[in-house]
Amino acid sequence: MKKLLLVLLLVCQGPAWAASASTWPMESFKGDLQNMPSLQNGFKLYANYCLGCHSLQFQRYERTADDLAIPHDIALKNLVFTGQKIGGLITNAMPRAASKDWFGASPPDLTMVTRVRSPEWVYNYLNTFYVDEDRPLGVNNKVFANVGMPNVLLELQGVQREVCAEGHCDHLAVDNGTGTMTTEEFKSATYDLTNFLYYVSEPSRLDRQRIGIYVLLFLIILGCFTYLLNREYWKDVGGH
Ligand code: HEC
């Protein structure tokens, strides 16, 4: 029975592993949930460049705005483009069947993507779109081979191409002056986007970290009192 479960587990996980198995030298990624400007910028980029295709159907605008310290009126004016209310889930109107025809696969919901793939994978994915004339949309990706998603951040990053030497194409370079951002600016934008998706995959992680700080403070204060009390007791014992 145990074995059967294990096999089922392996079979279910198969496609995710297969797609993420790549020889691309991954750049590391470390999320930072205390960095509010980064999370806010990630949310803004997400609403502008991703939400049209990818919902976050387990996440509400209100909670996101509150967690990210964005006042509700500013969130409604600048981040909710769907005419929804602040209490609404972050959804879109992407038709599932039609989008499969358009892209070869429907854009999946991304609420859990950094847990299914890993934040590192998502970060590298967003940075490694490159020109590939053999693909229907003229674009491919280094960590998701033959991906159906268009290169939606092209205007920011510019035209990125493979650089090959001796048959190995393990380097990418952007054509000078084709994007509105420098390489560093683009890296920082994709960092913020990934950081935001990292937060979305488990919003309570933010709470836990905040609460954790209070718990530590409480323990330190309690420790001081315990120490003083201890000293008080021993003063009497040693004092005669
Ligand atoms: C025009 C529609 C469209 C837009 C806009 C778009 N995507 Fe996608 N995305 C897709 C499609 C389609 C797929 C599925 C690709 C496949 O399976 O081949 C996908 C796949 C993905 C995946 C891989 C999911 C998985 O685990 O398989 C990630 C991550 C992702 N998109 C992130 C983003 C982010 C971040 C943005 C915004 C910067 C974005 N996408 C904007 C269409 C879009």
Q: How far is CA 218 from CA 34, 83, 157, in A?
A: 20, 44, 46
CA distances from residue 92 to 55, 57, 84, 140, 210 in whole angstroms, order as listed: 6, 9, 10, 25, 31
In the predicted model, residues of the chain with pLDDT beneath 70 are 1-22, 238-240
How far from chain centre, in Å, is Cα 232? 52
Which residue, chain included where needed, has tokens 């674009």?
139
- Residue 168 confidence (pLDDT): 85
- Binding-site residues, ligand 1, Cβ < 6 A: 49-50, 52-54, 103-105, 107-108, 110, 113, 116-117, 122, 125-126, 147-150, 152-153, 193
Confidence at residue 146, expressed as pLDDT on a 0 to 100 scale: 96
Give the burial class of 188: count Cβ atoms within 10 A of its Cβ; 0-12 exposed, 13-18 middle, 19 or more buried. Answer: middle
Residue linked to tokens 């229907």: 136
Closest alpha carbon to 39 in 202, 211, 199, 210: 199
- pLDDT score of 198: 97
Using CA atoms, how far residue 62 sits from 4, 43, 78, 84, 235, in Å, is 43, 13, 13, 11, 55
**Is residue 57 within 8 Å of residue 90, measured between CB atoms?**
yes
Residue 46 CA to ligand 1 centre (angstroms): 11
Residue in 54, 90, 96, 125 to alter for ligand 1 test, most ligand atoms within 8 A of Cβ = 54
Structure token digits, residue 109: 């919901």
Residue among 40, 31, 32 nearest 67 (CA): 40
C-alpha separations of 85 from 62, 81, 219 in Å? 9, 10, 41
Q: Which of 46, 48, 53 to mutate to test the pocket of ligand 1 (most atoms within 8 A of CB)?
A: 53
Whole-angstrom distance, CA of residue 188 vs CA of residue 37: 12
Q: Could you tell me which residues come within 8 angstroms of residue 122 by beta carbon, excluding any fewer than 6 positions away?
A: 29, 113, 114, 194, 197
Please state, in angstroms and rounded to a whole number, the distance separating the CA atoms of residues 151 and 135.
Answer: 12
pTM comes to 0.84
d(CA 131, CA 149): 13
pLDDT for res 18: 46
